[in-house]
Amino acid sequence: MTDTTTLHHRICPLCEACCGLEIKVRNQQVISIRGHEADVFSAGYICPKGVALKDLHEDPDRLRTPLIKRNGQFETATWDEAFAEIERRLPPVQAAHGRNAVGLVAGNPTAHKIGLLLYLPRLLKALGTRNFFSAATLDQIPRHLVSGLMYGGWMSVPVPDIARTQWLLVLGANPVASNGSMWTVPDFRGKAKALQARGGKLIVIDPRRTETAALADEHHFIRPGADVYLLLGMLHHLLARGPARLGRLEPLVVGLEALREAVQPYAPAVVAPRCGIDAVTIERLADELATAPAAAVYGRIGVNTQDYGSLCAWLIDVLNIVSGHFDTPGGTLFPKAAGFASNTTGTPGQGRGVTTGRFASRVAGAPEVMGEIPITCLAEEIETPGPGQVRALITVATNPVLSAPNGERLSRALQELDFMVSLDIYLNETSRHADVILPGPSPLEDLHFDVPFPQLSWRNHARYSAPVFERARGQPAEWQTLLRLAAIAQGQGAGVDVQALDDALFAEELRKLGDAAPAIQQATQGLSGPARLLDMALRTGPYAASHGLSLARVQAAPAGVDLGPLQPRLPELLRTPDGRVHLAPTPLLTDLARAHAALQAPADPLVIIGRRDVRSNNSWMHNLPVLAKGPERCTALLHPDDAQRLGLSNGQIARIRHGERSITAPVEVSAAMMPGVVSLPHGWGHDLPGSRLQVAAERPGANLNALFTESRRDPLSGNAVLSGVAVEMEPLSL
Ligand SMILES: Nc1nc2c(c(=O)[nH]1)N[C@H]1C(S)=C(S)[C@@H](COP(=O)(O)OP(=O)(O)OC[C@H]3O[C@@H](n4cnc5c(=O)[nH]c(N)nc54)[C@H](O)[C@@H]3O)O[C@H]1N2
Ligand SMILES: Nc1nc2c(c(=O)[nH]1)N[C@H]1C(S)=C(S)[C@@H](COP(=O)(O)OP(=O)(O)OC[C@H]3O[C@@H](n4cnc5c(=O)[nH]c(N)nc54)[C@H](O)[C@@H]3O)O[C@H]1N2
Ligand code: SF4
Ligand SMILES: [Mo]
Whether the predicted pLDDT of 110 surpasses 60:
yes
Q: Is 301 touching ligand 1 by the criterion CB < 6 Å?
A: yes
Half-sphere exposure of 34 (CA within 13 A, CB side): 10
| pLDDT tier at 235, thresholds 50, 70, 90 | very high
| pLDDT tier at 734, thresholds 50, 70, 90 | low
Task: Taking residues 75-87, report their average pLDDT.
Answer: 98
Q: Is 112 touching ligand 2 by the criterion CB < 6 Å?
A: no
**117: number of Cβ within 10 Å:** 21
For residue 262, give the H/E element and its range.
Answer: helix 256-262
Task: Taking residues 612-624, report their average pLDDT.
Answer: 97
* Vertex 118: Cα angle to 419 and 541 (nearest 5): 170
Ligand with the closest atom to the CA of 223: 2
Distance 429 CA to ligand 1 centre (A): 11
Distance 47 CA to ligand 3 centre (A): 5
Distance 112 CA to ligand 3 centre (A): 12
- Atom of ligand 3 minimally distant from the CA of 50: 7
- Look at residue 42 in the predicted model and tell me its pLDDT: 98
- Look at residue 2 in the predicted model and tell me its pLDDT: 53
Whether the predicted pLDDT of 272 surpasses 80:
yes
The binding-site residues of ligand 3, defined as CB within 6 angstroms of any ligand atom, are 12, 14-15, 17-19, 46-47, 49-50, 179, 186
Q: Is 300 touching ligand 1 by the criterion CB < 6 Å?
A: no
Q: Is 210 touching ligand 2 by the criterion CB < 6 Å?
A: yes
| pLDDT tier at 243, thresholds 50, 70, 90 | confident
**Minimum CA distance residue for ligand 3 atom 2:** 47
- Atom of ligand 2 minimally distant from the CA of 140: 14
Distance 532 CA to ligand 1 centre (A): 28
Q: Which of 90, 94, 124 is nearest to 482 (CA)?
A: 124
Ligand with the closest atom to the CA of 66: 1
Report the distance separating Cα 510 and Cα 697, nearest Å.
49
- Look at residue 46 in the predicted model and tell me its pLDDT: 98
H helices of 615-730, in order, are: 625-628, 640-646, 694-698
- Look at residue 377 in the predicted model and tell me its pLDDT: 98
- Atom of ligand 1 minimally distant from the CA of 112: 35
CB within 8 Å of 518: residues ≥ 6 apart: none
**pLDDT over 70, % of the chain:** 99
* Vertex 633: Cα angle to 630 and 636 (nearest 5): 145
Whether the predicted pLDDT of 279 surpasses 70:
yes
Q: Is 550 touching ligand 1 by the criterion CB < 6 Å?
A: no
Mutate to test the pocket of ligand 1, among 395, 398, 482 (most ligand atoms within 8 A of CB): 398
Q: Which residues pair with 103 in a beta bridge?
A: 393
Q: Is 685 touching ligand 1 by the criterion CB < 6 Å?
A: no
* Tens-digit pLDDT profile for residues 330-361: 999 999 999 999 999 999 999 999 999 999 99
| pLDDT tier at 241, thresholds 50, 70, 90 | confident
* Tens-digit pLDDT profile for residues 405-435: 999 999 999 999 999 999 999 999 999 999 9
Q: Is 107 touching ligand 1 by the criterion CB < 6 Å?
A: yes
* Tens-digit pLDDT profile for residues 547-605: 999 999 999 999 999 999 999 999 999 999 999 999 999 999 999 999 999 999 999 99
| pLDDT tier at 733, thresholds 50, 70, 90 | confident
* Tens-digit pLDDT profile for residues 681-691: 999 999 999 99
Report the distance separating Cα 523 and Cα 599, nearest Å.
60
* Tens-digit pLDDT profile for residues 31-44: 999 999 999 999 99
Distance 611 CA to ligand 1 centre (A): 15
Reported in sequence order, the residue ranges of 135-251 that DSSP labels E, i.e. its strands, are 159-160, 167-171, 201-205, 218-220
* Tens-digit pLDDT profile for residues 516-531: 999 999 999 999 999 9
Ligand with the closest atom to the CA of 15: 3
Q: Is 633 touching ligand 2 by the criterion CB < 6 Å?
A: no
**Minimum CA distance residue for ligand 2 atom 6:** 617
- Atom of ligand 2 minimally distant from the CA of 681: 24
Between helices 114-127 and 478-489, what is the axis angle to 10°?
0
Give the phi and the psi of residue 57 in degrees, each rounded to 5: -60, -40
- Atom of ligand 3 minimally distant from the CA of 17: 5
Q: Is 110 touching ligand 1 by the criterion CB < 6 Å?
A: no
Rg over alpha carbons for the chain, rounded to the nearest Å, is 25
Ligand with the closest atom to the CA of 611: 2
Q: Is 304 touching ligand 2 by the criterion CB < 6 Å?
A: no
Whether the predicted pLDDT of 654 surpasses 70:
yes
* Tens-digit pLDDT profile for residues 296-307: 999 999 999 999
Distance 306 CA to ligand 4 centre (A): 14
- Look at residue 242 in the predicted model and tell me its pLDDT: 86
Task: Taking residues 715-734, report their average pLDDT.
Answer: 94
SS percent in the chain: helix, strand, coil, step 5: 35, 15, 45
Mutate to test the pocket of ligand 1, among 104, 138, 301, 446 (most ligand atoms within 8 A of CB): 138
Task: Taking residues 715-721, report their average pLDDT.
Answer: 98
Task: Taking residues 687-708, report their average pLDDT.
Answer: 98
* Tens-digit pLDDT profile for residues 458-508: 999 999 999 999 999 999 999 999 999 999 999 999 999 999 999 999 999
Distance 109 CA to ligand 4 centre (A): 9
**Minimum CA distance residue for ligand 3 atom 4:** 15
